[in-house]
Amino acid sequence: MIASNLTAPFVCAQAFLPLLKRSSGASVINHGSIDATHGNPGIAAYSAAKGGVIPLTHVMAHDLGRYGIRVNCISTGGIRASRDAGSKIDEARIAVTPSRRMGTAEDVAGVALFLASDLSGYVNGANIVVDGGRTGITPGCYDDDHHAG
């Protein structure tokens, strides 16, 4: 779990560093997870591995910025996997997602395209959360009957 979710992004960037240094305005996009900051019962190794991706992103952004290389992270949560479509897992995720739907690959791709483009030329070291608002609220402080809106 650590090798594929934490070590791999580091080793991959290291392997491509000579090519990245030669390009103009290179962008590295790491894949995090909302489990990195909130944990997820039963998958401690995954949560810990993804937890390392965010500070790895920050350090890489600092160290590689001098070469014109931007490094950012997309942390996802509640993105539909085809194996879960219509399952109780989907229903449970939708129930705790303010957007009241599962995310799609296209939702994540739009953020990745932004980070890879010149439109994000001054974005470096960011962790952009794509989770339909799940981590944007404090659990227990929000209920549908008493919110402003």
Alpha-carbon Rg for the chain in angstroms: 17
Q: How far apart are CA 75 and CA 9, in angstroms?
A: 14
Q: How far apart are CA 8 and CA 6, in angstroms?
A: 6
Handedness of CA 1, 133, 112, 24 (dihedral sign): negative
Active-site residue flag, 46: yes
Closest by Cα among 67, 53, 73 to 126: 73
Task: Quote the tokens at residue 116.
Answer: 């890879």
Catalytic hit among 46, 67, 122, 142? 46
Catalytic residues: 46
